[in-house]
Amino acid sequence: MSEDGSNVEPEGLTRSESLEEPEFIDEISDPSNETSPHSGNTDFNQIYESNSSENTEQPSASSTSQLNGNEETNIEIPFSDTNIEEVIPLSNSESPQSSESSETNEAEEYHPVKFPIGRKFRGRTFNGHHKGFDMESDTFTVHLDAKGLQEFPVDIVKVKYVKYLYLDKNQIKTFQGADPGDLLGLETLSLQENGLSSIPQEIQLFHNLKVLNASYNEISHIPKELLQLGNMRQLFLNSNHIESLPSGLENLRYLETLSLGKNRLTHIPDSLCGLKNLKTLNLEYNQLTIFSKSLCFLPKLVSLNLTGNMIGSLPKEVRELKNLENLLMNHNKLTFLAVEIFQLLKIKELHLADNKLEAISPKIENFKELRLLNLDNNLLQSLPKKISHCVNLESLTLSDNNLEELPKKIRKLKNLRQLHANRNKMIKMAEEISHLSKIHSLEFSGNQITHVPIEIKNCKEITRVELNYNNIMYFPVGLCALQSLDYLSFNGNYISEIPVDLSFSKQLLHLELNKNKITIFSEHLCSLTNLEYLDLAKNQIRKIPHCISAMLSLHVLILSDNKFEIFPKELCSLKNLQLLDISENQLHKIPSEISKLKKIQKLNLSNNNFTHFPAELCQLQTLEDLNISQISGKK
């Protein structure tokens, strides 16, 4: 937590925007089916792009030992510079635990599966070159990432059932020698980080290709040969040098995902609206200044990402995006929202952070399906009362605005789980918050709040509270009833003591009271026997009570910039302590009892009054990081 009250978003609720590339969508739907398979939220972070093999979840031993007629046979292709070993899998009949084939023929799903080279799976490996062998599996994945390849591995694709081919981090510049007859089974090709300046013309030979990932290259244009791949479902060209889109995009009539993030696009051509099956479009971090009308006539579009552009307004035609569920427009130049946007009744996520919005229309009441609303870092002075009609809202983030209060009707947001309003101009925390029975995370850091209403005790499900850098003088008694609370942060306030019994919160794991006015390490803190992290830096504490020995779960203890003149021996009873920061005090020696800290890894003793290196520190066998700078004394 920084002194300005900035915070790290908790996990599990926000889909915070990242510069990470989106991943491939796990399943490709039948384009002839009018029903979208993405009935829920579409997350750009769930789109699967080829990641490194160490991030790939490996199947358990049990899952690879039991095969039946409908399961894929997992096999390995060992790879060396001089030899490619061909692998013949065990047939189902050879599996000692094979089960009867299912009588139900499930519809085939397009589901890329990654198995890194070098991991052993069931199968027999032959070191010789066996031509024309039969494969029992119809799904075969080959990983040749970072192998120093300069040519397309034509021998690999001669294997009949190669479906997924990953060639990331090589130097392949051409597909020379590729035989169209050998490529008929290939459906996924990944060429990330190959230094490509263009996509080879031979790409037109990959007639059945459904997924192409050529992100992180130096590609400057999309060749016409690529537009001949009529079976393409997903195309990823993120982080390239593409400045414009070609005509003929409509030829990719089955395309469902188009990701062109972090390129140099300045406009979107009308031909884009010919992609009638497009569901996910990523244009983040380009140089767009206009929300092109052609974007508004994509009838199946579910997710649109325009984050990081320079768009100043939305066109009226935006109302045509009837199936849009997720709109990401963070980091643009929006000063207002066209009223037509409130006709998009299926919107579930609306990301508008880092714009220049001064107000939100009351018509937001139309967003009955809205789950997430991000309005961080705008110029808002108030919220419309009718936001209370967004009854399914789960996450509302309002940090870095000019809000003085929240509407009282916010109490009607019964499904709200996350409410963040850091760095605004609020002088009190509204009592209405106590009616948010499902709230999990509450953040109001960087305001001018003087107290927390006792009614907060009604928020039974709350797990995280951050009220850093306010004007709070007394520890809020209402927090004492929060049985689920595990993270509590009150840095930069004016709390001088902790008079209440904190034993209520058995779940509390993390407590920050940095930069307050505390003079005594309260014995009430000792009752927090499950606490793992305690920060009491920048207070006026002089000694530690014996009862701290009860805090055996404590892993991190920060006592820097207090008034300690003697190293507290009581700290040596913390058998599980891994990090201790007691810098910026007035210590001049270390007790021999410090040897009891059997798990200590990091110890900060800098800026104290030591005149020589304390020999007692040599007893700390687990110590990895010791800071004892300015050993001759403080500045």
Tokens of residue 221, six digits: 């244009």
pLDDT given at position 503:
66
The phi and psi torsions of 271 (rounded to 5 degrees) equal -65, -20
pLDDT given at position 67:
33
pLDDT given at position 4:
52
168 near 192, Cβ under 8 Å? yes
Q: Cα separation of 44 and 302, whole Å?
A: 11
Q: Which residues of the chain are modeled with pLDDT < 70?
A: 1-139, 502-504, 631-635
How far from each other are the two terminal CA atoms of the chain, in whole angstroms?
A: 26
Tokens of residue 219, six digits: 């590609």
Q: How far is CA 63 from CA 72, 97, 177, 534, 591, in A?
A: 11, 11, 38, 42, 54
pLDDT tens across 459-490, in order?
999 999 999 999 999 999 888 888 899 999 99
Q: How far is CA 521 from CA 318, 333, 499, 513, 546, in A?
A: 58, 49, 11, 11, 10
**Own/partner pairs, 89-93, CB within 8 angstroms, 24+ separation:** 89/122, 89/123, 89/124, 89/135, 89/136, 89/137, 90/122, 90/123, 90/124, 90/136, 91/136, 92/67, 92/68, 92/136
Residue whose token pair is 């963070």? 330
Q: Using CA of residue 580, residue 585, residue 588, residue 593, what is the dihedral sign?
A: negative
Half-sphere exposure of residue 630: CA atoms within 13 angstroms, side-chain side: 14
The phi and psi torsions of 556 (rounded to 5 degrees) equal -130, 125
pLDDT given at position 480:
82
pLDDT given at position 95:
38
Per-residue HEC secondary structure of 286-319 comes to CCCCCCCHHHHHCCCCCEEECCCCCCCCCCHHHH
User: Any residues with CB less than 8 A from the CB of 242 and at least 6 apart, and which?
Assistant: 219, 220, 221, 222, 260, 263, 264, 265
70 near 101, Cβ under 8 Å? yes
pLDDT given at position 83:
31
DSSP letter for 89, please: P
